[in-house]
Amino acid sequence: MEKQKFYITTPIYYPSDKLHIGHTYCTVATDAVARYKRLKGLDVMFLTGTDEHGQKIEEKAKEAGVTPKEFVDRIVEGPKGVKDLWKLMNISNDRFIRTTDDYHVASVQKIFKKMYDKGDIYKGKYKGKYCTPCESFWTESQLVDGKCPDCGREVQDAEEEAYFFRLSKYADRIRNLLEDTDFLQPRSRVNEMVRNFIDPGLEDLCVSRTSFSWGVPVDFDPGHVVYVWVDALFNYTTALGFLNDTYHDYDKYWPADVHFVGKEIVRFHSIIWPAMLMSMEMPLPKHVFGHGWLLLDGGKMSKSKGNVVDPYILAEKFGVDALRFFLMRTFPFGSDGNFSNELLIQTINTDLANDLGNLVSRTTAMVGKYFGGKLPEGCRTWAAPESFDTELITMASGLRARYEEAMETFAPHKALEEVFKVIQRANKYIDETAPWVLAKDMEQNGKRLAHVMYNLLEATRICGILLSPFMPESCEKLFAQIGADTQAQTWDSAAQWGALSDSAAVTKGENLFPRIDMDKALDELEALEAQARAEAKAAAGPVVEVEPYAEEYVDFDTFCKSDFRAVKVKACEAVKKSAKLLRFTLDDGSGTDRQILSGIHKWYEPETLVGKTLVAILNLPPRKMMGLESNGMLISAVHTEDGEEVLHLLMVDDSIPAGAKMC
Ligand code: MSP
């Protein structure tokens, strides 16, 4: 039988800034759902990637002094770049698209032309406001207090010849899609979209720019590049081979089952994206899910200080699985949540170290101690169950169904809550059965004790299967400790109480989730972050700045009056009582020694300059410093490094005679 298909995507990331834990959130959620669907036996396509065009990237590359392609290559492919981060976080994407990939660029050009030929894209004049960081056009009425409604930053006036997409034509169909179907989830996002964008009237959308060039060129009108969101949204189809020959899965996987996106880009995915697909007469994705944001003290993650948000540091300190788990367990997926390092440590300690870790280590230790690591065969059915046996078995047997219900509605936090109810129930079962008391009289209670142990192992196994999409590596270790063959831990067996062999070899292995000392860990985090900052600074090199260039011209005759000459240092000494000044005795070729004072002691020891050939301007009026006369000025090159002034005297070839004119 052909497997059911499931196509899931994350947003494609802007490779402009370092990704923080907030960015990681969506990709981890997508990964957990993709792994869950694979566990259920579906044929999954999980796509992620990078959104590499646009003015913001062009500007950042310019600042960094590299081409835009060099800039994005470094952030996507380079050390600790986007791809490295997903590898570290154990992200199981099946494909990775870069919007600078040739096949994508060619497909976008064809898509743009198709909508143009259809009359849905037309040429007009764009007049409005543009928010550069968000790459978004806004009409006056959409601004909030004159600022970008998404990010609250200043917007710029923009007017240029541009292409427009007839978004207005699709307004009614989009309204119906949002209001009458479950296309957009959670439901609260529908009201937001309808009230803010559909009710005020959908205006046509500007879909090309001429003021910068880093984008997909409109191939039938040179000078225009395709608006970055048109380019970006179609990634979901070009990565499957839509209008290209690089991939051949479009018919198999499109339409997508769900796009996971952050709340601020729901507008693009639930209004613009379906309208363009309607124009292209392509099927619409089944769902768009707009998740909430991780905030710091209620504010934006990129802005605030005082918490480590670098996923590399957090994963190094606490482990990848603990971090993945924390993100999914703590924050309801559709709402915003406040991130903090304390909360992360608390969650690890409570859920992973205390509840899950203790259950596994206590159970495996007891099977080791009382049965030498192997329970007697047949023990799964021994001894009459008490009410708490039945309760545990019923809860664990029904767990898969409750978990599935939550996962199918994209509520991973609820699925994990259900798993932890069973883990907590199992820990309580240890207290209720008091195995250490039973063990005192093995002859009398041996069979009962073996049965209790089996129930604990089996409850742990079922929880392990359902936790594996969230913590794949730790669950493999967990299976090894309880003697469960990883290959046999299937979706089906998660609903089969008793699937674990009752004579499996149990070993108490390493502690899966050691308890974390909060104060110590917070201090260590701070130190790790300081170290990472220092390393990044060292890798980037010092910040070098030169003085702004003169805006005014100097006329040629005035310039020619400046008498620059080569001078040779005959003697040089520090001026008494001055920290800065050096006194030079110079041969300027005139036959008479010349004295110049220069405030450069900070950079040069006087004796090192004797014999050097320097450059000086000689026809400045004499000037007195510290009671000594200076007749001219030595020429230096000056810049700053990390804000500190750096100076180099201009030294020329010693074969140049004293007095040679510079012109
Ligand atoms: N390039 C666009 C997406 C194009 S999709 C066709 C983009 N990129 S982004 O890098 O700025 O953001 C990627 C995702 O990270 C978005 O879904 C965004 O909501 C999410 N997040 C960024 N900061 C976040 C938090 N602090 N918390 C949760 N998600 C956050 O938008």
Integer Cα distance of 529 and 307 in angstroms:
10
Helix axes 21-39, 311-318, angle to 10 degrees: 60
532 lines ligand 1 (CB under 6 A): no
- Closest CA to ligand 1's atom 5: 11
Q: Please indicate whether residue 261, judged by its CB atom, sits closer than 6 Å to ligand 1.
A: yes
* Whether residues 420 and 490 fall in one domain: yes
Asked if 9 contacts 253 with a C-beta cutoff of 8 angstroms, the reply is: no
Q: Is the pLDDT of residue 658 over 90?
A: yes
| Residue 300 domain flag | yes
Q: Say what percent of the chain tops pLDDT 70.
A: 99
Please report, for residues 124, 163, 197, 230, 446, the alpha-carbon distance to residue 127 in angstroms, rounded to integers and kept in the order given.
10, 12, 19, 19, 83
Mean pLDDT over residues 151-171, rounded?
Answer: 91
In the structure encoding, which two tokens stand for residue 224, read together? 């225009």
In a domain, 209, yes or no: no
Does the CB atom of residue 483 touch ligand 1 within 6 A? no
505 and 591 fall within a common domain: no
Q: Which helix or strand (DSSP H or E) is residue 300 part of?
A: none
The pLDDT of residue 303 is 61
Looking at the structure, do residues 467 and 521 belong to the same domain, yes or no? yes
**pLDDT of the residue at 538:** 82
Show the tokens assigned to 345.
């440590």
Cα–Cα distance, 8 to 291 (Å, whole number): 14
Other beta carbons less than 10 A from residue 647's beta carbon:
14
Which one of 495, 510, 541 terminates a domain? 541
Mean predicted confidence (pLDDT) in 212-230: 96
Distance 495 CA to ligand 1 centre (A): 36
Nearest to 367 by CA among 376, 375, 359: 375
pLDDT at site 594: 97
Token duo for residue 653: 């070839």
pLDDT digits (tens, 9 = 90+) for 255-288: 999 999 999 999 999 999 999 999 999 999 999 9
Task: State mean pLDDT over 182-198.
Answer: 96
Contact 513, 357 (CB under 8 A): yes
- What 3-state DSSP class applies to 261? strand
Given 253, 281, 316, which residue is the final one in a domain? 316
Distance between Cα 111 and ligand 1 center (Å): 24
Residue carrying structure tokens 């917007």: 155
- Going by alpha carbons, the residue nearest to atom 15 of ligand 1 is 23
Query: CA-CA distances (angstroms) from residue 388 to 364, 428, 454, 528?
Result: 20, 9, 14, 47
Position in ligand 1 atom list of the atom nearest CA 264: 19
In terms of residue numbers, what domain contains 15? Answer: 5-100+293-316
Do both 299 and 359 map to the same domain?
Answer: no
Q: Is residue 394 part of a domain?
A: yes
Judge if 521 and 565 occupy the same domain. Answer: no
Nearest-atom number in ligand 1 for the CA of 263 is: 19
Atom of ligand 1 nearest to the CA of 260: 17
Same domain, 629 and 500: no
Q: Please check the confidence at residue 385 and state whether its pLDDT lies above 90.
A: no
Residues 375 and 439 in one domain: yes
For residue 429, the model assigns a pLDDT of 98
Select from 8, 9, 13 the residue to mutate for testing ligand 1; criterion: most ligand atoms less than 8 Å from CB. 13
Predicted confidence (pLDDT) per residue in 37-83, tens digit: 999 999 999 999 999 999 899 999 998 899 999 999 999 999 999 99
Among 115-124, 348-357, 638-647, the range scoring the smallest mean pLDDT is 638-647
Assess whether pLDDT exceeds 90 at residue 137: no
Residues 536/18, Cβ–Cβ less than 8 Å? no
What pLDDT was estimated at residue 159?
A: 79
Task: Report in angstroms the alpha-carbon separations of 605 from 30, 503, 581, 632, 647.
Answer: 63, 82, 11, 20, 13
- Within-domain flag for 282: no
Closest residue by Cα to atom 28, ligand 1, is: 293
Residues 462 and 569 in one domain: no
Number of CB atoms found within 10 A of residue 576's CB: 10
Of ligand 1's listed atoms, the one at least distance from the Cα of 236 is 6
Mutation test residue for ligand 1: of 26, 50, 53, 82, the one with most atoms within 8 Å of CB: 26
Least confident residue range of 139-143, 414-418, 473-477, 502-506: 139-143
Round to whole Å and give the CA distance between 192 and 451: 54
Q: What is the pLDDT of residues 22-48, one digit of tens each?
A: 999 999 999 999 999 999 999 999 999
Q: Which tens digits make up the pLDDT trace of 595-629?
A: 999 999 999 999 999 999 999 999 999 999 999 99
Of the residues 541, 569, 591, which one is the last residue of a structural domain?
A: 541
Give me ligand 1 centre to Cα 289, in Å: 13
Closest atom, ligand 1, to C-alpha of 262: 19
**Which atom of ligand 1 is found nearest the CA of 261?**
17
Ligand 1: distance of its center to the CA of 262 in Å?
6
* Per-residue pLDDT band at 535 (split at 50, 70, 90): confident
Spatial separation of the C-alpha atoms in residues 307 and 284, rounded to whole Å: 40
Question: Are 346 and 488 members of one domain?
Answer: yes
Three-state DSSP at 588 gives coil
64: domain CATH number? 3.40.50.620
How far apart are the CA of 177 and the centre of ligand 1, in A?
24
The answer to whether residue 566 sits within a structural domain is: yes
- pTM as predicted: 0.83
Q: Same domain, yes or no, for 437 and 529?
A: yes
170 CB less than 6 Å from ligand 1? no
Number of domains present in the structure of the chain: 3
Beta carbon of 22 within 6 Å of any ligand 1 atom: yes
Residue 449 domain-assigned (yes or no): yes
In whole numbers, what is the pLDDT of the chain averaged over residues? 94
d(CA 214, CA 508): 57
Tell whether ligand 1 has an atom less than 6 A from the beta carbon of residue 294: yes
Same-domain status, 404 and 497: yes
The verdict on residue 36 lying in a domain is: yes
**Cβ of 167 less than 6 Å from ligand 1:** no
Q: What is the CATH number of the domain that holds 413?
A: 1.10.730.10
**Left (φ > 0), alpha (ψ -120 to 50) or beta: where does 73 sit?**
alpha
Evaluated on CA atoms 131, 133, 136, 141, the torsion sign reads negative
Pocket test residue of 189, 263, 265 for ligand 1, highest count of atoms within 8 A of CB: 265
Looking at per-residue pLDDT, the higher value among 216 and 531 belongs to 216
Q: What is the per-residue pLDDT for 305?
A: 66
With a pLDDT cut of 90, the percent of the chain lying above it is: 82
Supply the Cα-derived Rg of the chain in whole angstroms: 34
Could you tell me if residue 663 is inside a domain?
no
- Closest ligand 1 atom to residue 302 Cα is 26
Q: Are residues 564 and 597 in the same domain?
A: yes
Mean pLDDT value of segment 297-320 = 85
CATH number of the domain where residue 579 is located: 2.40.50.140
Q: Are 108 and 231 in contact (CB under 8 A)?
A: yes
DSSP code at position 120: S
Which helix (H) or strand (E) segment is 308 a member of?
A: none
What is the spatial distance between Cα 262 and Cα 13, in angstroms, rounded to a whole number?
A: 11
405: confidence class by pLDDT, cuts 50, 70, 90 = very high
State the closest ligand 1 atom to the C-alpha of 233, by its place in the atom list counted from 1. Answer: 6
CB of 29 sitting under 6 A from ligand 1: no
